Amino acid sequence: NHYISLGKLNMDEFAMGGSTENSALAKTSNPWNADCVPGGSSGGSAAAVSSGSAIWALGSDTGGSIRQPASFCGVVGLKPTYGNVSRYGLIAFASSLDQIGPITRDVTDAALVLNAISGHDAKDSTSIPGARVDYTTALVNDVKNLKIGVPKEFFGEGLNSEVRKAMEEAIETYKKLGAEIVEVSLPNSKYALSAYYIIALAEASSNLARYDGVSYGMRVPADNLVDMSTKTRTEGFGPEVQRRILLGTYVLSAGYYDAYYLKALKVRRLIKNEFDEAFSKVDLILTPTAPNTSYKFGEKANDPLAMYLEDICTVPANLAGIPGISIPAGMSSNNLPIGLQLLGPAMGEETLLRAAFTFEQARPDCQLVAPTGEVSL
């Protein structure tokens, strides 16, 4: 398959951030409220689709960077199974977590774009081999007898009351459509954010080491090699990227590798095992995409941990390598979109798309069209 890229969109620098405020270029506004962030890191993609400037766009999802901006902007965002879409050509943030996927106005378009971008690629060693799948065949308006798991750990303290209400209404919708709702438990998910940021930052520090001013990326001139490399990295990377490189280098350093990085890898395996066990009982898992709706520019800019917490519902899927989709599930009282997340087992995109499509057909009130107006993309 071949397509012509019509343009590039804004994002957090090296995909590091959840608001597109860390862009090396400029901030992107949320089409629903220009004072609010569009989410991130793929904020430009979500804002472009939400505002009607593009029919579809691609995003990269390392810990929720397709699904979270899709939730904030009221569009559909699909993170495929790790390896279902080639990462060849993607500038790596965290190689074992990154996955490319579509951001679209509806589920049908998500299936069409996934058809075009998925499949084995000999140039990517992590690409999953096998025959291509036509995901449009999954667009069936039927969830009868589908078992949907609801994990109590994703509905605890810290969840916005309006987001909780939208999730409860979504669960009732699925019940009325004939799906069976099953309570499941993912107790190790409370460690997911900690494990994610250790693994992701460790991989980022390794991946970004190539930007040394010698053979890759930009170069800041200096009188000697050490000064040139130092200036290139301090002037070429923004503050959030520098912060993550420093933290990643720290957890990989002698004396800390076993205590942090190795332990995070073990936690990752426990989280994957829990998902495997849950999917032996249910077909899909339903959670909020984000614990809150979009927030105002600058609200979390000086508190990185508060921004990292916005990924709490999305990072487990990246650690486990499973697919997830965010679909619009309503609006808050201050007129900001709320996203519903569905998670499936590895290579379970067809079931995800069927459940998302059925919800979309049953709840036309959730199909959102952002107000028109100038939006910085």
- Residue 377 confidence (pLDDT): 52
What backbone torsions phi and psi does residue 318 show, to the nearest 5 degrees? -70, -40
> What is the structure's pLDDT at 216?
84
Alpha carbon 15 to its chain centroid, in Å, reads 10
Q: What is the mean pLDDT of residues 149-163?
A: 94
Find out whether 84 and 118 touch, Cβ atoms under 8 Å. yes
Integer Cα distance of 353 and 356 in angstroms: 5
Measured between alpha carbons, how far is residue 120 from residues 58, 83, 87, 110, 124 in Å? 18, 8, 11, 19, 8
Measure the CA–CA gap between 213 and 220, rounded to whole angstroms: 7
Q: CA 117: distance to chain centroid?
A: 17
pLDDT at 253 exceeding the cut of 70: yes
Q: Is the pLDDT of residue 373 over 60?
A: no
What percentage of the chain carries pLDDT values higher than 70? 97
Q: What are phi and psi of 249, to 5 degrees?
A: -65, -35
C-alpha distances out from residue 275 to 73, 109, 149, Å: 28, 28, 11
Q: DSSP string covering 60-117, please?
A: EESSSTTHHHHHHHTSEEEEPPTTTB--TTPPPSSTTT-EEEEEESSHHHHHHHHHHH
Please enumerate in sequence order all residues whose Cβ is within 8 A of that of 305, keeping only pairs 6 or more positions apart, or say none.
none
Helix pair 349-362, 161-176: axis angle to 10 deg: 100
Question: Is domain 13-366 in CATH 3.90.1300.10, yes or no?
Answer: yes
- How far is Cα 15 from Cα 43, in angstroms, rounded to an integer? 10
In this structure, of 3-12, 80-89, 111-120, 338-347, the range with the lowest mean pLDDT score is: 3-12
Q: Where residue 367 falls among pLDDT bands split at 50, 70, 90?
A: confident
pLDDT of residue 305: 74
The whole-number average pLDDT for the span 229-241 is 94
Q: Render pLDDT for 271-320 as a digit per residue (tens, 0 to 9).
A: 999 999 999 999 999 999 999 999 999 988 777 777 777 889 999 999 99
Angle at 129 between CA 7 and CA 99, to 5 degrees: 40
Q: Is 257 helix (H, G, I), strand (E, B) or coil?
A: helix
Quick one: pLDDT at residue 246? 96
Query: So what's the pLDDT on residue 215?
Result: 83
Q: Name the band, by pLDDT with cuts 50, 70 and 90, for residue 158.
A: confident
